[in-house]
Amino acid sequence: MNRLPVVVLISGTGSNLAALLDASRTAECPYQVVAVVADRDAPGLEHARAAEIPTRIVRLSDYPDRASWDEALTAAVRTHAPHLVVLAGFMKLVGPPLLDAFGGRIINTHPALLPSFPGAHGVRDALAHGVKITGCSVIEVDAGVDTGRILAQSAVEVLDDDTEDSLHERIKAVEQPLLVDVVRRLTAAG
């Protein structure tokens, strides 16, 4: 089977990356993670290093301005010629260079049922609003903040004793298989 190349961008612990890597180890998987790029020395890079997948750190602070960083990030991704770019806990907005190079082939996860609670604090915002159901979304990335086409969603009940951390952990447990499913579908379709 010819597996399609995927580049994953991370900022944190890499739990979504780990789920993608675990799924890629099955014989029928239509994708292969060919590189992992982070915007900081993220702990999740260890998942890639353990799997002997190339990693790269592109820190915003290493560039004179945001435009230069956007170009460097795009170059780091482009080096691996991915079919799909997956933002898996990547906590920076991507700029026009990456969108121009890979538009329609960049996906992201979000810990809320979009269009509700976009932005960096989806879990906190859902709790503050008092909703009884929240969840996660996988979207196609566009120039907005969590405004892209919704590719898949899963619901998660909000429990009376939920904290931001407990709810986020339960959302992650649903988000990981959802992300793997979407990446499988998008790469199986070629």
Catalytic sites, residue numbers: 110
Task: Compute the Cα dihedral for 49, 25, 112, 108 and give only its sign.
Answer: positive
**Contact by Cβ (8 Å): 176, 15:** yes
Backbone angles phi, psi at 154, to 5 degrees: -140, 140
Of 68, 75, 107, nearest in space to 90 by CA? 107
Residue matched to tokens 């482009």: 78
Which residue, among 87, 147, 139, 140, has the nearest Cα to 115 in the 3D structure? 147
Question: Using alpha carbons only, how large is the chain's radius of gyration in Å?
Answer: 16
Separation between Cα atoms, residue 74 and residue 96, nearest integer Å: 9
Longest dimension (CA), the chain: 47
